[in-house]
Amino acid sequence: MEYRKITFEIMDQIARIGFGKASKKRLTTLDLETMEELDAALEEITERQEGDIRGLIFLSHKKNVFLAGMDVAVIRDLKDVQSGVEGARDGQRIYNKIEDLSIPTITCVDGVCLGGGFELALACKTIVVSDSPHTVLGAPEVSLGLLPAFGGSYRLPRRIDLPNALDLMLSGRLVRGEEAKKMGLVDEIHAGEKLLEAAFSRHIRIHKDETFPEHPIKRAAIPDVVARKPIFANARHSVLAKTRGRHDAPLRILDLLESSLDDPRAVYLEKEAQLLGELAVSEQSRKLQHLYFLRTANLKDSDPAGDKEGGS
């Protein structure tokens, strides 16, 4: 396959997938072609992981940005609930391939890592970030009336504790490297120029003979049903206090997690995809998407040389 949106190379038995090299945008986003190429590269890595590939590193070729999320135009172009469900299923299937690899998988984040880019990082066994002030991570989908639907709402509460996971998804707030490290979201912080070396020397070389479990990203202990009741109650109270019940997405995310957190991955992800389909074409999300495009258009008009468009 010819790769135009991503770079894919194998050097010294280490696969490297890079984003943004051919992008003219200031912020690299995921579009359908990028996802198709990523799927093809991961298929090859899956087939060769027991042979001549013993590690996978995700990186960016663009300064100050890893991935700013899914191109919002892709969401805008969804015609109905089913097209949203199918789009989410495709993303989930691709990211499941990352999670299910038996080799070490590392995301190197030097800059913006949001939305679908953040979900990609969550599918990896290890996340290392730079100490750059431009490095931020988060799930801002709720600001568009959406949820992380490439498996992000399933994986985040399994990587960090439930209150912090809910906070990030329900508020859409972004965290910098130090805070992300404290909450267990990222594994290490290094100078930007040392990220790749750290990924290789600390997370691939030392594990070259190790076989990883099927789903190694589960790190945070999920509270039992009784213990998490007050956590969800507090989160719901906070959402209602801030939104007065006027925003559907955070309440629907809460409903999904509260009712389905213990579900097996496949069962949960199907519910996540269904919810994305319903939210993406809702009147509320459509209005928020419209406001987003008006805002980015105004930014471009005020700074024609700069591309401010991001993703979700």
The SS3 call for residue 166 is: helix
Of 89, 2, 103, whose CA–CA distance to 58 is shortest?
103
Query: What confidence category does residue 218 fall into, taking pLDDT thresholds of 50, 70 and 90?
Result: low
Mean pLDDT along residues 56-60:
97
Mean pLDDT along residues 260-277:
98
Query: What confidence category does residue 203 fall into, taking pLDDT thresholds of 50, 70 and 90?
Result: confident
> Is residue 244 pLDDT above 60, yes or no?
yes
**158 or 307, higher pLDDT:** 158
Is residue 229 domain-resident?
Answer: no
**Look-up of token digits 């959402």:** 239
Mean pLDDT along residues 57-63:
96
**94 or 216, higher pLDDT:** 94
List, in sequence order, every residue forming a beta bridge with 176; answer none if it has no partner.
136
Is residue 47 domain-resident?
Answer: yes
Is residue 292 domain-resident?
Answer: yes
pLDDT at 268: 98
Distance CA(11)–CA(9), nearest Å, equals: 6
> Is residue 308 pLDDT above 50, yes or no?
no
- Residue 43 near residue 8 (C-beta atoms within 8 A): no
DSSP 67-88: E--BBHHHHHT--SHHHHHHHH
Is residue 256 domain-resident?
Answer: yes
Is residue 311 domain-resident?
Answer: no
Distance spanning both ends of the chain, measured CA to CA: 27
CATH number at residue 200: 3.90.226.10
pLDDT at 23: 81
The SS3 call for residue 102 is: coil
Mean pLDDT along residues 91-101:
98
Distance CA(41)–CA(149), nearest Å, equals: 21
Task: Extract the tokens encoding 248.
Answer: 């559907």
Count the domains in the chain: 1
- On average, the pLDDT of the chain sits at 91
Is residue 312 domain-resident?
Answer: no
Distance CA(95)–CA(119), nearest Å, equals: 8
> Is residue 307 pLDDT above 80, yes or no?
no
Task: Extract the tokens encoding 28.
Answer: 């690299």
Count the alpha carbons within 13 Å of 90 in the hemisphere toward its beta carbon: 19
**287 or 245, higher pLDDT:** 287
Rounded to an integer, what is the distance from CA 179 to the centroid of its chain? 17
Distance CA(146)–CA(37), nearest Å, equals: 25
Q: Residue 102 is part of which domain span? A: 6-221+234-302
pLDDT at 250: 97
Query: What confidence category does residue 309 fall into, taking pLDDT thresholds of 50, 70 and 90?
Result: very low
Is residue 308 domain-resident?
Answer: no
Per-residue pLDDT reduced to its tens digit, 117-173: 999 999 999 999 999 999 999 999 999 999 999 999 999 999 999 999 999 999 999
Is residue 147 domain-resident?
Answer: yes
